[in-house]
Amino acid sequence: MSNRMWGGRFATGPDAIMEEINASIGFDQRLYKQDIAGSIAHATMLAQVGILTQADRDAIVTGLKAVEQEIESNAFTFSRSLEDIHMNVESRLKELIGDPAGRLHTARSRNDQVATDFKLYVRDAIDTFLAQIQALQLALVKRAEEEVSTIMPGFTHLQNAQPVTLGHHLLAYVEMLGRDYGRFEDARRRLNESPLGSAALAGTPYPIDRDATAAALGFDRPTANSLDAVSDRDFILETLSAATLCAMHLSRFAEELVIWSSAQFGFVKLSDKFTTGSSIMPQKRNPDAAELIRAKVGRIMGALTSLMMVMKGLPLAYSKDMQEDKEVAFDAMSSLSLSLAAMTGMVEDLVPNRERMRASANAGFSTATDVADWLVRQLNIPFREAHHITGQIVALAEQKGMSLEGLTIEDFKFIDHRIDSRIHKVLSVEASAAARKSYGGTAPENVAVQVARWRTALTGVASEPVKVKRSGGHGDGGATE
């Protein structure tokens, strides 16, 4: 008896080991919606150009919709012996409608069929990512608006550097996510060409209408080269690349949440919804959701690397190696979607400890740069000299065991007699943040403007910046009275 999938060329079925390594139905069954949609579009086009009768087309479409309903109601039995989603659907279709099912595969191959299915799936996944990224951005923007003036330490090398606002810090991730959004949009635009009708590799002699199937499936156009159409996996590689960058951004923020929520920092409290306890230590609140997000980038980047290695040495056109594209990609895309959802939930439930953040920002002589800048602006001292003088001031404060704000005017004059009492205006962390009004800087007024810009961009509704309350004596960062 010949193999029922491959026809008369094969006299027997595959070895059990061959069936094990060859079958993909265990993971590609999630393509059922895309596979059925592609088949309906193909059958409709075949009827339009006269290759199928309208009666056969109607029977096929009715049967395919019945198969889809069976799958969605868990009444469908997937068979490993039928290898993949395409043959499982077609086999069940034949059981339901008989001979017309055998005409469905006219003028196509599993090669262009799987490329079409996979593109449709990835396109759907990208659309989900775009919505999820915007939801996370909106959550961050809302938080940033609430924390426009909240002072926290800005770090370099994870050491106190200069005071910033929490709103400014959160908006940094909004910017990163904005670029992630753009990369996914770019990937979606490039993948949106239909491989359907390219057949195995060389096209088909049948008078098909590829523009019709492309339009029916929401593609911008059919692919222009049949060899490229069936062997291209750029679209998933590019999507995985964008996913890796997005996951990396999430991982960086997750790392900060882990640090910030520790007892040593105490900057934020994560809600019970996104933390876990300990089986032995009753006091513990573990930031497990953040830690798992931090780890997901490894799986996502691993999928990108894995598929890149699969594709790097393949000659045109289709090779069975390319079956390895889906399992890792499915896992990566699910991981990113879950990470985006979890991060959005954590941001929405986050409770900042403003007092702790301000106290930390005030440690480590974080306004030292403001002192140096004041020396340059007010006393016309060259920056290098001002830098040296400020270093001496910091050393004196350290010796006395106090902050820069705690030094008296006599202390400053001991270091340099030219310093006068105006210097006290620049020593607070609020003054430091408020002074940084350059475009993109952390000044609360700037942050309010950026919040309004992003809220407008994300919602399509014009938004005005919130008014920032000025703290007395902190407004000009050292201007003369």
Q: 194 forms bridges with which residues in the sheet?
A: 222
Residue 152's SS3 state is strand
Half-sphere exposure of 409 (CA within 13 A, CB side): 8
Contacts of 86 (CB under 8 A, 6+ apart): 35, 110, 113, 114, 117
Angle, in degrees to the nearest 10, between helices 288-311 and 234-260: 160
Considering 73, 157, 279, 438, which one is annotated as catalytic?
157
Q: Where do we find the tokens 């007010």?
A: 378
Considering 2, 79, 262, 278, which one is annotated as catalytic?
278
Alpha-carbon distance of 195 to 92, in angstroms, equals 24
Q: Which residues of 9-44 are buried (b: 16+ CB within 10 A; e: fewer)?
A: eeeeebeeeeeeeebbbebbbebbebbbbbbbbbbb
Q: What angle do CA 365, 368, 372 make, to 5 degrees?
A: 170
Alpha-carbon distance of 418 to 425, in angstroms, equals 16
Alpha-carbon distance of 235 to 252, in angstroms, equals 26
Alpha-carbon distance of 355 to 338, in angstroms, equals 33
Alpha-carbon distance of 93 to 121, in angstroms, equals 22
Identify the H or E element spanning 263. Answer: none
Angle, in degrees to the nearest 10, between helices 85-97 and 54-72: 120
Contact present, 196 and 222 (Cβ < 8 Å): yes
278 catalytic? Reply is: yes
Q: 82 forms bridges with which residues in the sheet?
A: none
Alpha-carbon distance of 112 to 115, in angstroms, equals 5
Q: 3 forms bridges with which residues in the sheet?
A: 7
CA dihedral 430, 435, 439, 441 (to 10 degrees): -40
* Residue type present at position 315: P
Residue 384's SS3 state is helix
Residues annotated catalytic, as ranges: 157, 278
